[in-house]
Structure 1
Amino acid sequence: MNTRWTIKPNPDPEIVHSLMQSLGVGKPIAKLLAQRDITTFQEAKKFFRPNLKDLYDPYLMKDMDKAVTRIEKALAEEENIMVYGDYDVDGTTSVALMSSYLKTRYPNVATYIPDRYNEGYGVSYQGIDFAADNDVSLIIALDCGIKAIDKVAYAKEKGIDFVICDHHRPGAAIPEAVAVLDPKREDCEYPYKELCGCGVGFKLIQALAEKRGDTIEVLLPYLDLVATAIGADIVPITGENRILAYHGLHVINVAPRQGFKAILSQLKKETITITDVVFVIAPRINAAGRMKHGLHAVELLTEENEAQAQQFASEIESHNASRKDTDKSITAEALVQIEELEEQERLSTVVYANHWHKGVIGIVASRLTETYYRPTLVFTKSGDKLAASARSVKGFDVYNALEACQDHIEQFGGHKYAAGLTIKEEEYENFKRKFEEVVAETIDRKLLTPEISIDAELELDEITPKFWRILKQFAPFGPGNMSPVFMSRNLTDSGFGKCVGSENTHLKCSVTQLGNTSSYNVIGFNLGEKLELIQNKKSFSAVYSVDENEWNGNVSLQLKFKDIKES
């Protein structure tokens, strides 16, 4: 697939010079900081040393005082409390966080995760009925509820109060709950808007802890859950999220809960990164809700017995293996469907089969987006309706596109790049046609070619041990603070470049640069087909990230190529 290379504009040279002087760093590092809007010594200190003292006062969030008052009342009057959350990573970590915190103070706390297949996303009537049958008078909903206007009203009729902790965009009206915590509310002046659901839940337990006179250090053991949700939900790792993710990763590395320890026991790594959280921990937590039930994930995340945690982890591992097989076969079927319909002429991809597993259609949508790079929806049958997962390409707001198709949708929710929806079966063709129309009218055509955003052009000699030592401290990486990508020109291969991997899909070589003394080993995943561009000492340009390679106990710097073009 062709890619667009775009180099970020050079930051203000005066700011770059000032950072070089005050921090004692080279120009490449100073430029990277300035690009991230870090312009002073003090801002750099906060960036490199995220401090829990810099977290915002939780009571700045709209309705926080009401939420704390209602929960304290429930604890004092020994009410039955139910902690309710969605079945994905953000939801299950939120439920684990809130329920385990409350249980340190009070025993009558139940957990509830809706069944993905019988109840669907968010607050359900079935969940409220379950609460009523068990004399629950307060439901704390996490990572869902911002659009549950009818459900909250239904609960009120049954004498059940709601406290909602959500981070999704609200609709035109807000549910009439006792408290609705959501930084994306228009009337909420909380300074940081990008918290995930678990992050909003953490702000609530922070407020509850403050009310008791506890310090933030008491809550450190919960930050591994918050860091996992931040990574899995792909929210920006900036501001408050950066502080929470940084300290949460430290907890995972130094004192992981038994569930994480069990999942990570197969990883022979000295340091767990946010990438490991996203690609190792998160898929396994998600697999429980996809293939079985989200409560299995909550059990794993709250289990304190090592042997029991190992048992839960091995069960979840088998769910994950099953999930991999299922998504592989559905992706293959969907690709055939696209090719048969000659969908390449379209600007969107919409596919459907009634037997596809609802638990993996989001993953399949992501895979199809990677293959054809278009806004994509994958539908399956769900009861008497059709359910879909939507994924988008960088720069295109799929949530807004769905909003423009509302006449054909029963319900929908989500974010700019990922959403879920339900439609009536008879509306499928109408929806498909309308969605294509909306995409065709609103998408900038260049967004249909994947973009590689380049932070800076580097000379290989600038990649020094000091440069790498500082670059590592830019982590944790994620949206808003992506792992830096560099470009170098006039590169040549040593002559030993080759394709590697079971199907020769990857590229391995060693490169030097005209006018430089340094040489680096390179791995280029899925770049095997570009071997010809580097053969016979041809000069080429490459975009890459800098990484460490560990082999037989030896650690060395290597470049990870993302793409190659002729010089």
Structure 2
Amino acid sequence: MRWTIKPKPEEDKIKALAKALNVEKLVAQLLLQRGISTYEEAKYFFRPQLEHLHDPFLMKDMDIAVARIEKAIVDGENILVFGDYDVDGTTAVALLSSYLLTYYPNVATYIPDRYAEGYGVSYKGIDFAEDNGFSLIIALDCGVKAIEKVAYAKEKNIDFIICDHHRPGDVLPDAVAVLDPKRSDCTYPYDELCGCGVGFKLIQALGSRKGETIHDLIPYLDLVATAIGADIVPITGENRVLAYFGLQVINENPRAGFKAIINQIKKTVLTITDVVFIIAPRINAAGRMEHGQYAVNLLTEKDANQAQKFAAEIEKFNIDRRGLDQEITIEALNQITENKEEQGFTSVVYKDSWHKGVIGIVASRLTETYYRPTLVFTKSGDKLAASARSVKGFDVYNALEGCADYIEQFGGHKYAAGLTLLEEQYNNFKAQFEKVVAETIDPNLLIPEITVDMIIELKDITPKLMRIINQFAPFGPGNMTPVFMAEKISDSGYAKGVGEDEKHLKCAVTQNDYGPIGCIGFNLGDKLPLITSRKPFSAVFTIDENEWQGNVSLQLKIKDLR
């Protein structure tokens, strides 16, 4: 691991902010590192308000989208709410369809089949709309590159409104409205919304025309917070406000579908991390193993008993998904090991029988293991489909653009993307991808990095500091959990390996006669010899609360040590 310590802000700025907020310098430094330098900015950060959300009509085409939906309602048109099969897409479809259905009945939902239709707007979906008399399709979390498909719909007199957050191509589809804060001609103040977030801005705009305020829309924020967490968008600005209030809804008054999932896991208070690792995989499992519509059904169900049945179905999908994911990960790792001589700057693996629904998870696992930009391919109809994952600091989407000659279609983000290509192009693509990455990546990026906020002493770690750090939540990209480093600490003499195969490290540390403070280091069991016999060491860690038999104590979650 590379340890990178963030630059320390200027001392006078630290002192000034500490004085303005009446906090310790350590806290002021953490805030300055997050771009917060005034009392007013700190107030926004620590006390998010729904009133901080931007006017939805600042988004390009929002007025046109609202006018078209209002016309559809006046004319009695059938509206089809269309979305991707992942968490962002299914939550967005659940959000917009359930909102529209509160005052207009002619609304249905459509999630494409991952296997039969693939990602995004599909010809099959448009044919379904034509066959069933839909004259308006609202696409969420997809569509900004669907130029041919939107043109195909137009030939059938079907209009499109697109709500997307992916990077557009050079040309936009000929839709009635394209809501995407990443449009180069869109001056909306915040461009990191997820697809469900763009959908929320649309219902905010529609609601404002009916005299509703933001407070009337709070019940929809559990969906938005889940999408923000699952889609790994920055938890800054508007996303921070949406996630903050969405988590309150999840914990205090969740919809029946979320309540059914939470009842299965028996957890009382959920953080954004719990949403990412507990709720999101279950919602995702529907589209991965069976069909994304199962997730929409769960998220829109109002009856608690029915929601419980849907959640039980989805739990089964999730268990199946886990089994497959482990099996394929082992096969993929073996494939890399067998072709060790080929390993350069990338990991690219392929097997025609791998389940398309889990190749994204497998790609993430391979990236964790080998720390290379990674692609996992499988057969999908008469083509190959792949999921791409990247390492911190490297834009895999740009790398794929450099391989466009060999790709049928692709889309995604800086760190995650999907693509399809013809089987005969696989080897050409693989060679080109390796070439592009080799020429453009900083070799340092191939060593996992831990970014450290600051070096502290153990005596600085107090319950008061923990209380303040808890107020930095929700954590995520742009506002990660603070990471600290302590030097010349030593184990109190009871360090040991714990867990299966003793793969985790448990110890208690002291520094200059202060301590001990308990520590846990997941997957660091092999580092035990480095700290025995009270040998001094440095550690990088986050601070955590450990609850045991009703007692709460502070502990360090060690990320690495040397």
TM-score normalised by L of structure 1: 0.98
- What residue is the counterpart of 1:558 in the other structure? 555
Which of 501, 508, 520 is the equivalent residue of 1:523?
520
Question: What's the counterpart of residue 217 of structure 1?
Answer: 215
Contact 2:9 2:29 (8 Å CA) reproduced: yes
1:543 partnered with 2:540: yes
The residue aligned with 1:163 is: 161
Q: 1:431 to 1:223 in 2, by over 3 A?
A: same
2: distance between equivalents of 1:503 and 1:260? Answer: 35
Q: Distance in 2 between matches of 1:6 and 1:304?
A: 48
Alignment partner, residue 274 of structure 2:
276
Match of 1:251 in 2: 249
Given residue 551 of structure 1, which amino acid in structure 2 is its aligned partner? W
SS across alignment from 1:163: strand
**SS of 1:523's equivalent?**
strand
Cα deviation code 1:511-530 (max 9, x no counterpart): 1112x523211110000000
Hey, what does 2:67 align to over in structure 1?
69
Following superposition, the deviation at residue 12 of structure 1 comes to 2.1
Q: Is the 8 A contact 1:343 1:349 kept in 2?
A: no
Cα shift readout 1:394-452 (whole Å, capped 9, x = no counterpart): 01100000000000000000000000000000000000000000011111001000000
Distance 1:404 1:211 in 2: 45
Distance 2:341 2:450 in 1: 25
Range with greater deviation from structure 2 (311-320 or 545-554): 545-554
Which of 312, 315, 318 is residue 313 of structure 2 equivalent to? 315
Q: CA deviation at 1:267?
A: 3.3
SS of match in other structure, 1:422: strand
Q: How does 1:84-163 map to 2 (within 5 A)?
A: 84-163=82-161
23-32 vs 166-175, which deviates more? 23-32
| Matched position secondary structure for 2:104 | coil
Q: Partners of 1:563 and 1:266 in 2: how far apart?
A: 33
Tell me, yes or no, if the aligned pair for 2:458 and 2:511 is still in contact at 8 Å: yes
The one-letter code sitting in structure 2 at the alignment partner of 1:402 is L
Structure 1 residues 328 and 33: alpha-carbon distance in aligned structure 2, compared to 1, 3 A threshold: same
Deviates more, 1:34-43 or 1:546-555: 546-555
Q: Does structure 2 conserve the Cα–Cα contact (< 8 Å) formed by 1:385 and 1:422?
A: yes
In 1: Cα distance, 2:385 partner to 2:71 partner: 39
Distance 1:519 1:264 in 2: 36
- Pairwise mapping of residues 463-482 of structure 1 onto structure 2 (< 5 A)? 463-482=461-480
In the other structure, the counterpart of 2:488 is: 490
Alignment partner, residue 436 of structure 2: 438
Is 2:339 the partner of 1:348?
no
Equivalents in 2 of 1:43, 1:341: separation in Å? 52
SS of equivalent to 1:100: helix
**1:82 Cα offset (Å):** 0.3
**How many Å separate the matches in 2 of 1:549 and 1:83?**
44
How far is the alpha carbon of 1:73 from its aligned partner? Answer: 0.7
**What is the root-mean-square deviation of aligned Cα atoms in Å?**
0.8
The residue number in structure 2 matching 1:266 is: 264
Per-residue CA deviations over 1:310-368 (Å, capped at 9, x if unaligned) read 11111101100000000111011111111111156411011000000000000000000
**Deviation per residue, 1:100-120 (Å, 9 max, x gap):** 000001111000000000000
* Matched pairs, number: 562
**Which of 208, 215, 235 is equivalent to 1:237?**
235
* Distance in 2 (alpha carbons) for counterparts of 1:283 and 1:554: 31
- 2:88 counterpart letter in structure 1: D
CA distance in 1, matches of 2:472, 2:263: 26
Shift of 1:269: 3.3
Matches of 1:409 and 1:201, distance apart in 2: 30
**Which residue, out of 148, 152, 173, partners 1:175?**
173
Secondary structure of the residue that 2:488 maps to in structure 1? strand
Distance 1:130 1:337 in 2: 41
**Corresponding residue of 1:208:** 206
CA drift at 1:46: 0.4
Q: Residue 518 of structure 1: SS of its match in structure 2?
A: strand
Distance in 1 between residues matched to 2:397 and 2:91, nearest whole Å: 24
Q: Percent identity?
A: 70
My pick for the range that moved more, 334-343 or 201-210, is: 334-343
Of 218-227 and 339-348, deviating more is: 339-348
What CA deviation, in whole Å up to 9, does each residue of 1:111-143 have, x standing for no partner? 000000000000000000000000000000000
The match for 1:403 among 390, 398, 401 is 401
Moved more, 90-99 or 518-527: 518-527
CA distance in structure 1 between the partners assigned to 2:245 and 2:342 by the alignment: 45
Q: Secondary structure at the match of 2:487?
A: strand
Partner amino acid for 1:525?
Answer: F
Structure 2 Cα separation of the partners of residues 264 and 550 of structure 1: 20
**Aligned-pair CA distance for 1:180:** 0.2
- Written as runs of structure 1 = structure 2, the 5 A alignment for 1:286-325 is 286-325=284-323
**1:327 corresponding residue in structure 2:** 325
Structure 2 CA distance, aligned partners of 1:331 and 1:395?
24
Structure 1 unmatched runs, 5+: none
For structure 2, the residue ranges without an aligned partner over 5 or more in a row are none
CA contact (8 A) 1:354 1:380 kept: yes
* Cα distance in structure 2, aligned partners of 1:229 and 1:520: 36
User: Match of 1:265, SS?
Assistant: helix
Alignment partner, residue 382 of structure 1: 380
Q: Is the Cα–Cα contact under 8 Å of residues 460 and 519 in structure 1 kept in the other structure? A: no
Q: In 2, Cα distance between the equivalents of 1:207 and 1:340?
A: 55
The answer to whether 1:429 aligns with 2:427 is yes
Cα distance in 1 for residues equivalent to 2:11 and 2:341: 47
> Any conservation in 1 of the 2:336–2:343 contact (CA below 8 Å)?
no
Q: Quote how far apart the aligned CAs of 1:13 are.
A: 1.7
* Alpha-carbon displacement from aligned partner over 1:185-206 (angstroms, at most 9, x marks no partner): 0000001010000000000000
